[in-house]
Amino acid sequence: MTETISAFCDATEQARMIADREITAVALTRLTLDRIAALDPILNAFTCVLGESALNEAAALDAEYAATGRTRGPLHGVPVAIKDDNDVAGVITTFGGSATSKPAARDGEAVRRLRAAGAVIIGKTTLPEFGVMPFTESIAFGATRNPWDPSLSASGSSGGSAAAVASGMVAAAIGTDGGGSVRLPASYCGLVGLKPQRGRVSTAPTVDLWRMLGTIGPLTRSVRDCALLCDVIAGQSPTDKWTTPALASPLSAAIDAPFRRLRIAISERHPGRYPHADAETLAALHATADALRELGHVVEPAEPRYPAFVAEFIVLMLGGVSDEATLVDHPELIEPRVRQLLGVGKLFSGNKIGAWAERRAVAKSEQINRFFDSYDLLLTPTSPTPAVPHGGAQGNIAAVMNRGRVVSAFTAVWNIAGNPVVALPTGYSAAGLPLSAQLVGPVNGEPAIIEVAAQIERARPWSHRRPTPRVAT
């Protein structure tokens, strides 16, 4: 039975195989755990692996299916990894550090929804402490390595989730995105990464994630998995500060939607005018634009009028990190470089400046979104280069944050705006590293970006390209 499944089957196919009784949830979970045991010593993607509980969950799902003849939901029996800033009942939420010792009392809302859909929670994945850097490196857990080249970064802050999916350890994982933290690891690791519309996915038990910047989103190898995972985790809780109306139909319906001729803008320019993307990234961006034209879309150069947003972003980010720091049991064990950042944050603390930043961000979101009065979608680079070497988190916090600003050059503005954005592979560098572009939609525009992302995937498929056999066999 287990010989029929590849490590690189996507989650949709894994769920189908379980539903068609080609494999059991227990057998798939054992294969997943075996692959983690083989590859995680190389890649360092997991903070903890929940082997015993995952097998127990899988066995319960198999028994339920045998007794009722019905699967629990669209992810019945599929192992999913969770970034370690999300609560999983009975497991410590480390936030990427050593300052927490008490296990979470209950699942976060996104994890609860995954379980309700039948997912098996296989483990928790690495991040820089509190997700403050686009480099998944921490004192507590070390550096997470890129499956395409272990000498390179998996980016961050959802680098562990990205490395786990790209290497075939799991088919899908959950990340969080406060400045590009889903999309940048997707870019470096050759994946699909979705930052949903602000308020699409509940952040409960917290009222928000990085004030108004952060969202929870999926990292997957296929567009259909990305849509499926978003359908599963989408929804609000009574405590959520930010909400948005439910989509009229499941996002998965956009995968095979009838063709619509859209007007798509392509932009090379960084929202702050620096840095420029490198030549290989831009060549892949324009090749993707050509593919969209061949499909029948109107694609033309156009530049949004980006307002200055760095001050608001810094205040909101520092406020969000400070909020998370209050949740740990042993603040004295927070990393020195993060304590430096929290020290800077005290200069911007207080409800008044936070409320000012939120009001300014909402106003600037409205300004940015006027662009979508003229265009249906925007195509830009995701990251300015392919994956970079490890070490981005080294040095004083000012140097680290400056490196992070360069890496997140194209992504952070959309966390201020709140718009949905999907990152997807666009090709490979001369060194064989993934390249990426992001499709930005208007407010509540997830169906359009998923619709077009699926068209790109069919026109320029990437699933046949996988990391080197010495890492992913």
Q: Active-site residues: which are they?
A: 83, 157, 181
Residue 463, sorted as left (phi over 0), alpha (psi -120 to 50) or beta, turns out to be: alpha
Dihedral of alpha carbons 66, 67, 69, 71, sign: negative
Tokens representing 165 are 């999916």
372 SS3 class: helix
Closest CA to 315 of 350, 285, 282, 287: 350
Angle at CA 469, nearest 5°, toward 467 and 472?
60
The phi and psi torsions of 352 (rounded to 5 degrees) equal -65, -45
Dihedral of alpha carbons 119, 137, 176, 109, sign: positive
Burial classification of residue 350, based on how many CB atoms lie within 10 Å of its CB (0-12 exposed, 13-18 middle, 19 or more buried): exposed
Q: How far apart are CA 403 and CA 399, in angstroms?
A: 6
Tokens representing 251 are 């996002």
Tokens representing 97 are 């550090």
CB contact at 8 A, 421 and 439: yes
Residue 16 makes CB contacts below 8 A (sequence gap 6+) with none
